[in-house]
Amino acid sequence: MSGFDETFDFVVAGSGGGSMCAALVARSAGKTALVLEKTELLGGTTCKSGGVMWIPNNPFMAKAGVPDSLEAGTKYLDAVVGDHNDAPGASKARRQAFLENGPRMLDFLMGQGLKFSRITSWPDYYDEAPGGSVPGRTVVADLFDANELGDKAALLRPNFLPMPVSLEDALQLPHVKKSWPAKKALVRMGFRIILSKLTGKRYVTAGAALQGRMMKAAIQAGVDLRNNSPVKELIVEDGAVVGVVTEKDGKPWRVGARLGVLVNAGGFALNQAMRDTYMPGSSIINTSVTEGDTGEMIQEMMRHGAAIAQMDSFVGSPLTMPPGAEHWPMKPGVQGVTAAPHAIMVDQTGVRYMNEGGSYTEYCQRMMERNKEAPAIPSWAIFDNRVMKNVMIAGTMPGSKKPDAWTESGYLHTADTIEGLAASLKIDPATLRGTVDRFNGFVGQNNDADFHRGAREYDKWLGDPFHKPNQTLGEIAEGPFHAVPVIPGDVSTLGGVVCDEKARVLRADGKPIKGLYATGTSAASVMGRTSPGSGVNIGPSFVFGYLAAKDAVAAG
């Protein structure tokens, strides 16, 4: 190899979920490692996110006496993801590699000083499926004081939760009026705010705690982390990837990679041209990813022969967009409204067509399927006044007065009767009345005979834990009645380059491109087109980053 401005053993393009995990593996084998991040800030969408990793059979479950096993995880992914020929990212071999290496990856990171715990209750999204877990398989990083990063603290990307609260506590806060654990969570947060003021600590949570802790470990281990360093090209010699072209001081800078290059540069949620090609009809406006998620590294890998798959799929995020929300970096979710008791969702003809609980990815897929039969984008969240009083709507506090612009723009509709609401929505009043009456009948029987909402634990988890007998089923009966539009948004794309169980990037003929690895949303997801539980994007990104570096070190 020649003509490089500098050379490392292992080079990572993008500072996503698996990037620093991979770099730490390389460092632990005595190899040099460089992470190149295009934007000003490190950590990617992972840093902004919940930071939850879905790791079946993780050590925190065993410690808490929560049953799980490799066999249960296998059964579950077999049932929920399955062997689809059109989802090669989710091959049986990759699913197995993910399941077997998740706990090993965690052990490795804990050995590097990382601190994790589990959320005590976050059911798998198909908990009723064979091998499903009701307590859930989530792992999160403990709160982190960003000051521990010293002069690199300013490079850590902010999280969507700008509060010093653990995710476990944050999940309690919406129930603060009714729940003692929630009140305690609020007190803990208040105490931490005071402590931060007194001591100067700067707690970050969720994805920023995860990536902050990863940055700290990476810096301590001697990983070279560089921001404002876009990877522009892969350098290929004799069919093998041997380095990258990045930028230094605005000029091209060639970096050699003796053992290989890992691409962890996100998906293409902000690339409208790629959306138009692979997900026609979808828009960059309805995503909450960070600004670097523009897909060019997927295109660069394709240029060198990488196969792609699952490009039509995304991690769903049901949204409601009040006026101005198209400019919000975090688009407002709405499943907490439609899965609350006393709420449903209907298409534009007033017909209910799905379980309003369940996986957010499936929720959005169902909206799009329905839209082929009847106008369903947007659909309407229909709810009674109890939801208005008790649930956050588009980022506003429960029960708060809603902005006048909401009604003036036709975003929020309100009427004293269901028929009046239907008229306001230009829906046939008898149809909407019939839909609501039918749902109310199911509530009386505690059995949603049409769509089985509330039969699985995850549906209930999305509802109100204090609502009896079913946390997600309640009559729509107390006026005034309200409606807001619902659209299928996203928090990531699921398609990317096809990789094998070692995270090696494959050509269409199934042969690996020597020296090239991919993980995270740059790769076609090991979950196929599904979201089986919370953390199924970040967990695999870490695991396949871990495996990529192991393979590169072993092969080198």
Total Cβ atoms within 10 A of residue 11: 32
Of 264, 271, 371, 530, which lies in the binding site for ligand FAD, with binding defined by CB under 6 A?
Answer: 264
**Which pair of structure tokens corresponds to residue 391?**
């649930």
- Decide: is 74 part of the binding site for ligand FAD (CB under 6 A): no
| Stretch of 36-44, 118-126, 271-279, 388-396 contacting ligand FAD, by CB under 6 A | 36-44
Give me the amino acid identity at 182.
A
The CA angle 553-554-556, to the nearest 5 degrees, is: 65
- Cβ–Cβ under 8 Å, residues 204 and 100: no
Of 15, 133, 359, 361, which lies in the binding site for ligand FAD, with binding defined by CB under 6 A?
Answer: 15
Least distance between ligand FAD and beta carbon 232 (Å): 7
Least distance between ligand FAD and beta carbon 137 (Å): 12
Q: Which of residues 429-448 bind ligand FAD (CB under 6 A)?
A: none
Of 39, 172, 282, 355, which lies in the binding site for ligand FAD, with binding defined by CB under 6 A?
Answer: 39
The CA angle 531-534-537, to the nearest 5 degrees, is: 65
- Helical axes 19-28 vs 206-221, angle rounded to 10°: 30
For ligand FAD, the closer of residues 341 and 520 by Cβ is 520
d(CA 556, CA 547): 14
For ligand FAD, the closer of residues 379 and 537 by Cβ is 537
| Most distant CA pair in the chain, distance | 76
- Decide: is 10 part of the binding site for ligand FAD (CB under 6 A): no
- Cβ–Cβ under 8 Å, residues 313 and 524: no
Any alpha helices (H) in 359-501, and if so which ranges?
360-373, 385-390, 404-408, 418-424, 429-445, 457-462
For ligand FAD, the closer of residues 289 and 553 by Cβ is 289
Least distance between ligand FAD and beta carbon 31 (Å): 20
By CB under 6 A, the count of residues binding ligand FAD is: 41
Of 166, 313, 435, 537, which lies in the binding site for ligand FAD, with binding defined by CB under 6 A?
Answer: 537
d(CA 197, CA 203): 11
d(CA 354, CA 474): 16
For ligand FAD, the closer of residues 297 and 367 by Cβ is 297
- Decide: is 88 part of the binding site for ligand FAD (CB under 6 A): no
- Decide: is 335 part of the binding site for ligand FAD (CB under 6 A): no
Of 492, 497, 543, 547, which lies in the binding site for ligand FAD, with binding defined by CB under 6 A?
Answer: 492
Of 171, 259, 265, 367, which lies in the binding site for ligand FAD, with binding defined by CB under 6 A?
Answer: 265
| Stretch of 35-43, 106-114, 336-344, 378-386 contacting ligand FAD, by CB under 6 A | 35-43
Q: Decide the pairing of beta strands 379-383 and 343-346.
A: antiparallel
* 3 state DSSP class of 391: coil
Q: Which of residues 132-161 bind ligand FAD (CB under 6 A)?
A: 160
d(CA 288, CA 280): 18
d(CA 302, CA 497): 8
- Decide: is 488 part of the binding site for ligand FAD (CB under 6 A): no
Least distance between ligand FAD and beta carbon 43 (Å): 7
Of 55, 119, 262, 297, which lies in the binding site for ligand FAD, with binding defined by CB under 6 A?
Answer: 297
- Decide: is 58 part of the binding site for ligand FAD (CB under 6 A): no
Closest residue to ligand FAD, Cβ-based? 292
For ligand FAD, the closer of residues 105 and 231 by Cβ is 231
The contacts of residue 161 (CB under 8 Å, 6+ apart) are 167, 170, 205, 206
Picking from 309, 290, 342, the residue whose alpha carbon sits closest to that of residue 454 is 342
Of 23, 31, 34, 45, which lies in the binding site for ligand FAD, with binding defined by CB under 6 A?
Answer: 45
d(CA 295, CA 291): 11
Least distance between ligand FAD and beta carbon 180 (Å): 26
Picking from 140, 119, 114, 177, the residue whose alpha carbon sits closest to that of residue 53 is 140
Of 32, 49, 271, 335, which lies in the binding site for ligand FAD, with binding defined by CB under 6 A?
Answer: 49
The contacts of residue 192 (CB under 8 Å, 6+ apart) are 143, 164, 165, 203
Least distance between ligand FAD and beta carbon 261 (Å): 11
- Decide: is 262 part of the binding site for ligand FAD (CB under 6 A): no
Picking from 60, 71, 81, the residue whose alpha carbon sits closest to that of residue 126 is 81
Residue span 299-328 as binding mask against ligand FAD, x where in contact by CB under 6 A, dash where not:
----------------x-------------
Q: Which of residues 211-240 bind ligand FAD (CB under 6 A)?
A: 230-231
Least distance between ligand FAD and beta carbon 52 (Å): 3
Half-sphere exposure of 549 (CA within 13 A, CB side): 31
Least distance between ligand FAD and beta carbon 30 (Å): 25
Binding site for ligand FAD (CB under 6 A): 13-18, 36-39, 44-46, 48-52, 160, 230-231, 264-266, 288-289, 292-293, 296-297, 315, 330, 491-492, 520-521, 535-538, 541
